[in-house]
Amino acid sequence: MALIGSGLAAATPAAAAGDDPTQPTDGPCAYTPTPDEPAARPVPLPPDPRRTPSRGTVDVLLRTNLGQIPLELDRAEAPCTVQSFLHLVRHRFYNHTSCHRLTAYPTLKVLQCGDPTGTGEGGPGYRYKDELPTDLPPAPTDPTGARRVYARGVLAMANAGPDTNGSQFFLVYGDSALRPNYTIFGTTTRTGLETLDRAAAGGVTPTPEDPAPVDGPPALPTRIMVAQIRR
């Protein structure tokens, strides 16, 4: 099942994208404005240095109403994604936002966050390229071999198709079978998994049409109060 993550955003400073605010940045990440999908919150394009940091890890902490979710971002695995995520954290893009989607399928168990509108349609006003994993093990539940295991604890970008990364991301609380079309850029810790399990235990919000849904807003509202870089 597709994980929808719109990419949208505000104009960038002229130094980052040239004189035309509709053009991508000049560096290797080519952050590209999406004027038809404006930013859910004002934010410039990320910096895009010629030598994008591609070594080491960065710790980020999501403080939620259900507990802390520590994240370890891996620059080597997805340098452009980590650079964008840190940029959005610095601009407080994720503060006071709701995680809008919980899935509870047997083969897909994720919490999706990163849209300030809480609708699943919002983003930062820009998009950027995929940095897809190449070494994930085959999902044992998929005899075709097309799907791979996104393991419990993985942090990955949601998207709406190839090279449409923006601000929305998902955290895997149970091993999931997905086509390897989603950039993995970090992991969470045991503390983070305890928070995710708390959200998952509440299930998905029922509706009159579907009293026992497996995909939709978390029944136990999950809100990122503050996202902060630790180191």
Helix, coil or strand: residue 93: coil
User: Does residue 9 register a pLDDT over 80?
Assistant: no
Residues 40-82 have pLDDT tens digits of 999 999 999 999 999 999 999 999 999 999 999 999 999 999 9
Residues 83-97 have pLDDT tens digits of 999 999 999 999 999
Residue from 166, 201, 2, 172 nearest 87 by CA: 166
Range 12-22 average pLDDT: 48
Q: How confident is the model at residue 13 (pLDDT cuts 50, 70, 90)?
A: very low
Helix, coil or strand: residue 200: helix
CA 24 centroid distance within chain: 21
**118 touches 97 (CB < 8 A):** yes
**102 touches 217 (CB < 8 A):** yes
Residues 162-215 have pLDDT tens digits of 999 999 999 999 999 999 999 999 999 999 999 999 999 999 999 999 999 999
Query: How many residues does the structure list for the chain?
Result: 231
Type of residue numbered 152:
R
